Structure 1
C-alpha cells in the first residue's frame, strides 16, 4: 500500500510542469495611505517570506505558479490573509487596518497552516520571547503560563507537560517537526529539550489522534524551531541569564546566515544551577542540574523544492532529590542523578506541484538515559531508545471551497538495556497510520473533519527465569484503532466566534504499563505491569466562545473528555524487597472543566493591558474516585504596560502577575493533599542602543514574597519538600 501510494505521488511529481514568478507589491495604512515599513509578508504554503522596505515595497522571487495565500502582519495592525494567483504582472496594493488587538501568527501544528482566527480547532500559541519575560528557569516551567497547561516536576530541572489533567504518554511533544520519543512514560523523565532555538510553542488541547496517531489522546505540545535569517543577511545573537535562587547561569550564542536559496544556522546553549532554595531558606539537596544544548540547521529552497535539515544534541545531568540533607551551593553532580543524551535529526522535504504540494518529514532520534545510584560510577539503569519516524502528506489541489490532505505516518522503535537493572525489557515497536482530512470554507462558516486508521505492534524479549522476582515474560501484541474528528467555526453573534469540536483519540499501552516488573527508581515503589491491557479510547467534546473588539477580548472554553479503559497504577498490600507493590489496571474515566478569561486594552491608552484567566479540571473514575495528578484550580491576573519609547529605551514593558492556586483535596489513593497558595511575579524590560548595538535587558522576579508552598504536581510533595522560593532573574541579550 505504501509503495503504491508513493509511486502515484512520484508520478505526479515527474509529470508536473513548473514555472516561476516574482510577486511584488506595496503595504500601506488603510487610513493614512502611508507606507508600512518592516511589515511581514509570508506565504505559509511555501514557508517563505520577506519584509517591506522604507517605501513599504516588497518582492518575493522564485514563486511557483498557482493559487497562493499570503499572510500580512505588522504590530499595531490587523493580520490579514489574501489569495493570489501567480503569475501576475500587476503589483499588489495591500492595506492594513490599525488596531490595538495583538498581531496573529500562522498556526503550524494544525494541518492547513491558518491564522488562529481562521482555525476550526482552538490552538494556544505563545512565543518563547514572551515566555522568557516571565523568568522561567526551564521550558517545562515556561509553558505553565499557558491556560490549561501545567507541569509535573521533580525539583527545578525535571518537568513534563500536563494538558487538562493528562500527561506522560497521553501528551505528544513535537520538536523540529517530528514526534519526540524520550522514555516519557517515567514520572521523573523530563522533556530533554532546551528552550534554546525554539521560536514559539503551540498547544492543542484534547484528542489530536487524527493528525498524530497514538499517544495524542490528551493533546500535543508543538515546539516551532527558530527561523533562518532573512535573505542575503547574517545575524549573530548572544544572551546571558543569571538566577539568584539557584545561583544559576545560562549562556546562549547563535549564528545565522542566508542567501537566495541556501540558509544555515548554529546555536549553542549552556546552563548550570545549584540546589534551589525554598521559601523557608532551605536548599533542596540534589536539585542541581546542568544542561548543554547544540542546534544546527541547513535549508535549501527553489521553485520546485524546499528542504530543511535540523540537528539537536542535548546533554543533561539532573540530580534526583530524595530528602533535605547537606546544604550546598555546589553545581557538581552527586548521586542519585540522571545523565541524559538526546539526539534529534530531522529532514523536512516539500515538493511544490501545480496548485498542490507533497510534504515528507523524516526523523531519527537516539535517547540514552542513564541513572546512577549511591557510590557507583557505573549506571544502575541504562536504556537506549532509537526511533525512526516518518510523516508523508499530500496537499491536494483546492476544489471549490474544499482544502484536503491525505497522509501516512509511522515509526520504527527499539529499546535496549545496558545497565545492571531493568525497568522495562528490550523491545521493538512499529506504528503505521493512514489519514484524510478536509476543510470547507465559506465567508462566515468553516467546517473541518477527517478520519484515520492506526495499527501498532509491540514485541518484547524474555528476561530472567519464570517465577523469579524481576522476570520479564515475552510479549507480542497488536493494537489498532479508528478515529475521527468533526468541527465547525461560525459567528454566533457580531464579534463572537464559536467553535464546536468532537474528536476521538486513542493510546496503546506503553512498555512500562505492559511489562514493568521491578523497582522504579525515584518513586520508591515496585511496579508490576499488566500484559492484558487494552487501548485507551476517548471522545472529547469542546466548546469555545471568543468575543473580540478593538478594546476588549473575552474567551471561554469548556470540555468533556470520556476515556474508556483508562490505565492507571494502583497500590496493593504486598511488599517486595521492602517496597510497596503497585500494579497497572484499567477503568473507565472522565475529565471535564475548561478555561475562561479576558484581556482589556482600552483605547486610546493601548499601552495598558489587564488580563485574567481561570483554569479548572476535574478527573474521576466511573466509580467516583479521583484520578491522580489532576492540577488544582488556578486563577491568574496580570497588569501589563507596554511603551514604545521611554527615556532612551524602546520596546519597554513591565508587568505584575498574581497567580492563586486552590487547594487540591480530590486525590487518588496514593496521593497527598496540597494547600492553596498565591504567588506574586513581576518583571520589567526594554531595549537600549549603544553605538547602534541593541541591548535587550530584562529583570524578572518570581514568588516575590518568598512564599513557602508545595505544588500539587510536584513529585517531592510526598516528602514534604517545598517548591522554589523567591527567584530574581537578570537577562541581557544582543543581536548584531
Structure 2
C-alpha cells in the first residue's frame, strides 16, 4: 500500500512539472524608442538570454516575443548607435513595454540602417563624432569616405556633394526635416550649413522622389541639428580645428540645457582661413601661364560666422523644437577666373588672409519648427520653415565694362540673388499592426527670388509647389518586407522679362547694329509654366538569415526644371562660361532600378550596390557653336535635353583581421552617356566623377596611461583617369594619394579631450580632381595638409 501511495505521489509530481514545462504561452510586445525624441528605432537586436534567442525591431520600433516558456526574462539590448543595456522583465506581469535607448556618442561605425520615410534602401549614417573625425573643412568634403559620395570643392573652405555622379539640383539636402534652399544650381555655391553643429547625417544613395519630391533623383542628405539633449542640466563641448594648408582657425562651441521636458541649445562657429597652398609654381588658363607665387593661390582666403538657437519640449505624447540659425560665408575668387587672364592681377600682395575683389558672400537665415504628436498606433508631424538666402558676387566693374560709368551705389556688385522660401510639411504615420505601416504626407512650398547687380544671370522669379504622397510598408513574413507608394506633384514657375540697358549701350559702343544690340540686351522673357507629375516606387527587403539580406528598388523619378535652366542668359564666372536657358524644357523624367546585397558577421562586412538610371529627357548644358556678344563671353552654352543612361555600382568590404587590426576598401564604378542622334555623338554627362577607390588600414592601439581608444589609420585614395567627358570638358588624369589619421581620447581624471590628427596628400602630390570648381582653370588640388581637431566635452 505504501508503494502505491509513493508511486501516486511521484506520478502527480511529474504530471505537475510536465504541465508546468508545457506552459509556453508567455509573450510581450516591446517598443524601442530614441530617448531624445521618442522616435522608433529600427534594427535593434534584443537577445532573450535564458533561451539564447535574438529578435529584431521592425520599422515602427516594435518586436514581439511569443510562446516563451520562461516567465522571467533577462533581455540584452544592442544597437550600433545606441548604448547597450540589459533589463529584467517578468512576463507574468508585463505584456507591453516601451524601452528608451540613449544615443552612443563615442562609437565610430558606418552601417546600413532603415529610413523611416522612404522605401527600404541603403542609407549611410554618421553621428557627430564621425563627422568630427572625418571633417575636412566643409560638410560635403567630410562625406567623401562613403561609397558613391564625392564632393565638388570650391577652394579650400567650401564644397557641395555629388551622389552617383548627380549633383546641383539632383541631390537634395534637408535640415531638421525641411528642404535646404539656396542657390544650389551654381558650381561655386557651397552648402550654407555649419558642419560642426550637425548632430547626425543620413545619406540616402537612391532615388527618393516619393518622400521628398523634386531634386531627389541622386539621393538625399538628411541633417539633424535640433535633437533634445539626453542629460539633465547644463552640458556642452568646445572644438578647435586647425589646418596647415591655409592656416585655418576654427572655434566652435555647443551648449545645451535640459530641465525635465524642456530644453534649450546654443551653437556657434567662427572660422578664418588664408590663401591655400598648391603643389605647383605655375598654372595655365586660356593659354596664359600664370605664376603661383610662394605656391599659394591668391585671394582664396575666407571666413565663416555661424550661430544657432534651439528650444524645445519632449514628452511621451508631444515633441516640439524651434530653431533659428544664421550662417554667413565670405571667400575670395582667384582673380584669373574673372575677365581676361592677366598676370599682373595674380601678383602676391603680401597678405595671405585678406579678401579682395572678386569675392562671394552669402547669408543664410533659417527658422524651422518641428512638431510631433504621438498616439497609440500613429504619429502626426507638422514642420514649418522660413529661409532667406542672400548671395552676392562682387568684382571690379571696369573689368567687364571699361568704357562705361559704374553704378552710383554698390558699383562693384556684380550679382545678387535674394531668395525667400516658405514651406509646410504634414506627415501622418499609421501603424495598423506590427506588419503594416501607412505613411501619408503633404508638402507645400513657395519661393520668390529678387536680383540686383550690374551683370545679369538669372531673372526675378517665383515658384509654388504642392506634393502629396503615400507609402505602404508590409512585412509579409519574418524574411520579406515590401514597400510601395505613389506621389503627385503640381508646380508653377513665373519669371520676369528684363532689358539690359547697360549691355545695349555697350554693344552699340562696340559698333554692333541696333537690331543686334536689342536682341542681346533682352536678357529674359516673361515665362509662366505649369507642371504636374505622377510617380511610383516599389521596393523589397529579403532577409535570408541573420548574416545576409538583399534589397531591390524599382520606380520612376522626376525633377522640375529650375529657373536657371529655363531663363538664364549671362556669363556665370562660377562656371567660366556664358549660360543660356531654354524656356521649352520639360520636367526631367526617368526610371531607376537599384539594389544591394549585404553580408555581415563578426569578421567580415560586405555590401554590393548596383544601380541603373534611364532618363527620357536629361537636362544639361550643351555648346551651341555661337559666340557670345557679352564681354569676355566666349561660346554660348545652351540648356538642352536628351535621353541619357547612367549605371554603376558601389562595393564596400571590411575585414576584422585581428582584435585590433582591420582593413576596408570602398570601390565606386560609374558609367554614363547622353543618348542623342548618332550624328551628334554620345558624350558623357558633365561633372561625372571618375572610378575611384578608398583603402584604409586601421589599428586600435592598446590604452596607455591617459590615452584611451587610440586608433591609427593609413588611407590610400585612388582615382582612375576620366577620359569620358561632356562637350568642352577637359579629360583628367588619374592619381593616387596617401594619408594618415591618428585619433585618441585623453582622459585626465574628470577632464576628457578627443584628439584627431590627420595628414592629407602626405607626399605633396600634384593632381587634379575632375569635379573641382577650379579644374577648368588647370589649377591642381591642394598640397600636403596637416589638420588637428580637438573636442572637449563638458
Counterpart of 1:718? 776
User: Do the aligned partners of 1:406 and 1:435 also contact (CA within 8 Å) in 2?
Assistant: yes
C-alpha separation between the residues in 1 aligned to 2:564 and 2:574?
Answer: 15
Secondary structure in 2 aligned to 1:701?
strand
Counting only pairs closer than 5 Å after superposition, residues 62-461 of structure 1 correspond to structure 2 as: 69=62, 72-73=77-78, 110-111=116-117, 120-225=120-225, 227-280=227-280, 282-323=295-336, 325-327=346-348, 328=350, 330-374=352-396, 378-399=412-433, 401-441=435-475, 442-461=477-496
Structure 1 residues without counterparts, runs of 5 or longer:
1-39, 50-66, 113-118
Counterpart of 1:586? 641
Shift of 1:293: 0.8
Q: Over residues 235-293 of structure 1, what are the superposed CA-to-partner deviations in whole Å (9 max), with x where a residue is unaligned?
A: 12111111111111111111101111101100100111111111236211222211111
User: Do the aligned partners of 1:201 and 1:222 also contact (CA within 8 Å) in 2?
Assistant: yes
How many positions carry a matched residue from both structures?
Answer: 667
**Residues 672 and 371 (structure 1 numbering): CA distance in 2 closer, same or farther, change over 3 Å?**
same
Aligned counterpart in structure 2 of residue 480 of structure 1, from 529, 532, 539: 532
Aligned counterpart in structure 1 of residue 687 of structure 2, from 629, 640, 646: 629
Q: Over residues 31-67 of structure 1, what are the superposed CA-to-partner deviations in whole Å (9 max), with x where a residue is unaligned?
A: xxxxxxxxx9736982399xxxxxxxxxxxxxxxxx9
Secondary structure in 1 aligned to 2:144?
helix
Larger Rg belongs to: 2
**Residues 425 and 195 (structure 1 numbering): CA distance in 2 closer, same or farther, change over 3 Å?**
same
Aligned counterpart in structure 1 of residue 726 of structure 2, from 639, 656, 668: 668
Secondary structure in 1 aligned to 2:780?
coil
User: Do the aligned partners of 1:68 and 1:86 also contact (CA within 8 Å) in 2?
Assistant: no
Counterpart of 1:525? 577
User: Do the aligned partners of 2:115 and 2:121 also contact (CA within 8 Å) in 1?
Assistant: no
Shift of 1:729: 0.6
Secondary structure in 1 aligned to 2:256?
strand
Shift of 1:93: 11
User: Do the aligned partners of 1:131 and 1:145 also contact (CA within 8 Å) in 2?
Assistant: no
Matched, 1:599 2:654: yes
User: Do the aligned partners of 2:132 and 2:196 also contact (CA within 8 Å) in 1?
Assistant: no
Counting only pairs closer than 5 Å after superposition, residues 698-717 of structure 1 correspond to structure 2 as: 698-717=756-775
**Residues 75 and 607 (structure 1 numbering): CA distance in 2 closer, same or farther, change over 3 Å?**
farther
Secondary structure in 2 aligned to 1:582?
strand
**Residues 44 and 243 (structure 1 numbering): CA distance in 2 closer, same or farther, change over 3 Å?**
closer
Shift of 1:207: 1.3
Shift of 1:714: 1.1
C-alpha separation between the residues in 2 aligned to 1:561 and 1:371?
Answer: 36
Structure 2 residues without counterparts, runs of 5 or longer:
1-31, 42-59, 64-75, 102-106, 281-293, 337-342, 398-409, 501-517, 677-681
C-alpha separation between the residues in 2 aligned to 1:532 and 1:85?
Answer: 68
User: Do the aligned partners of 2:273 and 2:302 also contact (CA within 8 Å) in 1?
Assistant: yes
C-alpha separation between the residues in 2 aligned to 1:433 and 1:543?
Answer: 26
Counting only pairs closer than 5 Å after superposition, residues 631-710 of structure 1 correspond to structure 2 as: 631-643=689-701, 645-710=703-768
Q: Over residues 80-139 of structure 1, what are the superposed CA-to-partner deviations in whole Å (9 max), with x where a residue is unaligned?
A: 999x9999867969999xxxx986879585417xxxxxx821112223422432351211
**Residues 357 and 494 (structure 1 numbering): CA distance in 2 closer, same or farther, change over 3 Å?**
closer
C-alpha separation between the residues in 2 aligned to 1:508 and 1:81?
Answer: 50
User: Do the aligned partners of 1:245 and 1:726 also contact (CA within 8 Å) in 2?
Assistant: yes
Shift of 1:676: 0.7
User: Do the aligned partners of 1:299 and 1:308 also contact (CA within 8 Å) in 2?
Assistant: yes
Secondary structure in 1 aligned to 2:645?
strand
Counterpart of 1:618? 671
Secondary structure in 2 aligned to 1:398?
strand
**Residues 256 and 450 (structure 1 numbering): CA distance in 2 closer, same or farther, change over 3 Å?**
same
Aligned counterpart in structure 1 of residue 564 of structure 2, from 503, 509, 512: 512
Shift of 1:606: 2.6
Q: Over residues 372-394 of structure 1, what are the superposed CA-to-partner deviations in whole Å (9 max), with x where a residue is unaligned?
A: 00277642211110001111011
User: Do the aligned partners of 1:451 and 1:483 also contact (CA within 8 Å) in 2?
Assistant: yes
**Residues 473 and 237 (structure 1 numbering): CA distance in 2 closer, same or farther, change over 3 Å?**
same
C-alpha separation between the residues in 1 aligned to 2:199 and 2:555?
Answer: 28
User: Do the aligned partners of 1:235 and 1:257 also contact (CA within 8 Å) in 2?
Assistant: yes
**Residues 650 and 585 (structure 1 numbering): CA distance in 2 closer, same or farther, change over 3 Å?**
same
C-alpha separation between the residues in 2 aligned to 1:458 and 1:95?
Answer: 46
C-alpha separation between the residues in 2 aligned to 1:528 and 1:95?
Answer: 55
**Residues 669 and 612 (structure 1 numbering): CA distance in 2 closer, same or farther, change over 3 Å?**
same
Counterpart of 2:405? none
Secondary structure in 1 aligned to 2:431?
coil
Shift of 1:601: 1.2
Secondary structure in 1 aligned to 2:523?
coil
C-alpha separation between the residues in 2 aligned to 1:377 and 1:657?
Answer: 48
C-alpha separation between the residues in 1 aligned to 2:168 and 2:80?
Answer: 37
Q: Over residues 692-712 of structure 1, what are the superposed CA-to-partner deviations in whole Å (9 max), with x where a residue is unaligned?
A: 111222211011111111100
Secondary structure in 1 aligned to 2:140?
helix
